[in-house]
Chains A and B, each alone.
Chain A
Amino acid sequence: MSEPVIEFEAVDKWFGQLHVLRAIDLVVAAGEVVVVCGPSGSGKSTLIRCVNGLEAIQGGELRVLGESLTRPGVSMPALRTRVGMVFQSFNLFPHMTALENVMLAPVRVKGLGRAEAERAARALLERVRIPDKAEAYPANLSGGQQQRVAIARALAMQPRIMLFDEPTSALDPEMINEVLDVMTDLAREGMTMMVVSHEMGFARRVAHRVVFMDGGSIVEEAAPEAFFAAAKSDRAKEFLSKILTH
């Protein structure tokens, strides 16, 4: 197994009185694609939001790319340049064109020259298959196009890890595949990915491992074939029966 890049060790998280992550142990290796699924409120989004420090943890230890996030003085901005994130609601900046969205962090954080950043940004838009939308504002793009720009924007910092928080949940059905195709390409190129998703077809085809969560705990983790063919826990079986029967 290649080097671990994300290591949860007995991680606990509370929102006030609510215990949202309970003693999470999980290791993700470089190049691995892990799909996290589970019912609403199971803590799966919170889990990946901990990886780039959008949520702080209250117990245990979390190391990302060898760096402990609980160590005092750890620089979140520095970590986040190496961990890209794609959100359910795209979150493109509405006052900037697609190209400007992709160029922002390379220019402002990495200090890249504008010409160089623009070349790289256009190449990324090409890679997510919308080079012709570079000058469009988010409002003039479809959901699928916006999400692909968001993926290009996250890739612009050349991250080692990509986090996807329900990237297709807000999309119309006919646009889901264009986003999943881009994610599949990324996975094939060896990107380490944690994906919160209910796209079980994607999990089956692309994931190395499926993690099933319920009530803030990891109930089950298995290779996709094993998970879909014979989930061990009753909760996972019940969950699968709900999402696979329609």
Chain B
Amino acid sequence: MTYQFQWSVLWSGQSGSWLLQGVLTTLGISALAWVLAAALGILSGALRTVPWRSLRAAASFYVEFFRNVPLLVWMFFWYFGVPPLLPRPAQEWLFNHGAEFWAGTFALGVYHGARMSEVIRSGIQSIPRTQFEASVAMGLTTFQAYRLVIVPIALRLIVPPATNESLNLLKNSSVALTISVAELTFQTRQIETYTAKAIEALTAGTLIYLVLCVSIASVMGWVERRVRIPGLIARGG
């Protein structure tokens, strides 16, 4: 028996709109989670280098706790575990407004924030201490020194590994199908279920992920060139 390819399943019936919905959901959940991850990553990455032990400890706890539990467990935790802890009106609002989407966003955001944190910390720790001293010596507070000097330099240094993390985040958004977020992988499974054409459906999904990721990588490459620090070794892209 030979497999009969039937590529038209991808644009006949509802497949096209399913795929489009899937792409939009994947982009939506990934973008929101990325913002959360970047904020948590910058905050905790910076806090791990400050002169106050208790802040460092809190940031270390966040990183170790959230990066060392599987993403899948976090998905279940935020979807099944957290809502019952919320006040009644919040629960109702959540379940009327796509609880699985928000649970998925939080799971992805806090998990990748913990990973992003380490990337940002390594950027900060590659900056000579004297840059910090020069900042505070002119009257900046420690917070201002981080906000205006240390973090902006670190962010310029970490674009390549941060791109890696961002692509991982986008691809890991597929795990959200386990809590029935109708993202891209969910939709390709749906096409497969309805048409029994697994290769076609998965090929479509694969190509779409590839296009999304390559696009993001090239945008980040452009960002990297735009913000690069004069005088440092620069190539790539």
A and B: interacting chains: yes
Residues of A whose CB lies within 8 Å of any CB of B are 52, 54, 76-78, 80-81, 84-85, 87, 89, 91-95, 104-105, 108-109, 137-140, 150, 153-154, 156-157
Judge whether A94 and B229 touch: CB under 8 Å: yes
Closest to B142 in A: A77
Q: Chain B 121-134, CB within 8 Å of chain A: the 1/0 string?
A: 00000001011011
Cβ-neighbour of A78 out of B139, B153, B229 (below 8 A): B139
In the bound complex, residues from chain A placing their C-beta under 8 Å from that of B128 are 89, 91
In the bound complex, residues from chain A placing their C-beta under 8 Å from that of B139 are 77-78, 80-81, 105, 109, 157
Judge whether B130 and A76 touch: CB under 8 Å: no
Residue B148 CB within 8 A of the other chain: yes
Instruction: Using A104-B148, A138-B231 as known contacts, say yes or no to A80 and B138 having CB atoms under 8 A apart.
Output: yes
Judge whether B231 and A137 touch: CB under 8 Å: yes
Judge whether B136 and A77 touch: CB under 8 Å: yes
In the bound complex, residues from chain B placing their C-beta under 8 Å from that of A153 are 138
In the bound complex, residues from chain B placing their C-beta under 8 Å from that of A85 are 134, 137-138
Instruction: Using A81-B139, A95-B152, A95-B153 as known contacts, say yes or no to A140 and B130 having CB atoms under 8 A apart.
Output: no
Residues of B whose CB lies within 8 Å of any CB of A are 128, 130-131, 133-141, 144, 148-149, 152-153, 156, 227, 229-232
Between A and B, 29 residue pairs with Cβ closer than 8 Å are A52-B137, A54-B133, A54-B137, A77-B139, A77-B140, A77-B141, A78-B139, A80-B138, A81-B138, A84-B138, A89-B130, A91-B128, A91-B134, A94-B232, A95-B152, A95-B156, A104-B138, A105-B140, A108-B144, A137-B231, A138-B230, A138-B231, A139-B229, A139-B230, A139-B231, A140-B231, A153-B138, A156-B138, A157-B139
Q: Which of A54, A77, A153 has the most CB of B within 10 A?
A: A77
Query: Min CB distance, B149 to chain A, in Å?
Result: 5
Instruction: Using A81-B139, A109-B140, A153-B138 as known contacts, say yes or no to A94 and B133 having CB atoms under 8 A apart.
Output: no
A140 CA to B231 CA, complexed, in Å: 7
Instruction: Using A54-B133, A108-B144, A108-B148 as known contacts, say yes or no to A154 and B138 having CB atoms under 8 A apart.
Output: yes
Query: Min CB distance, A80 to chain B, in Å?
Result: 5
Closest to B132 in A: A91
In the bound complex, residues from chain A placing their C-beta under 8 Å from that of B138 are 80-81, 84-85, 104-105, 109, 153-154, 156-157
A138 CA to B144 CA, complexed, in Å: 21
Query: Min CB distance, B140 to chain A, in Å?
Result: 6
Judge whether A95 and B137 touch: CB under 8 Å: no
Going nearest first, the 4 A-B pairs with the smallest beta carbon separation are A139-B231, A91-B134, A81-B139, A137-B230
In the bound complex, residues from chain B placing their C-beta under 8 Å from that of A108 are 140, 144, 148
In the bound complex, residues from chain A placing their C-beta under 8 Å from that of B231 are 94, 137-140
In the bound complex, residues from chain A placing their C-beta under 8 Å from that of B229 are 94-95, 137, 139
Cβ-neighbour of B133 out of A87, A93, A95, A137 (below 8 A): A87
Judge whether A91 and B153 touch: CB under 8 Å: no
In the bound complex, residues from chain A placing their C-beta under 8 Å from that of B227 are 95
Q: Which of B134, B135, B141, B153 has the most CB of A within 10 A?
A: B134
A138 CA to B152 CA, complexed, in Å: 16
Judge whether A94 and B140 touch: CB under 8 Å: no
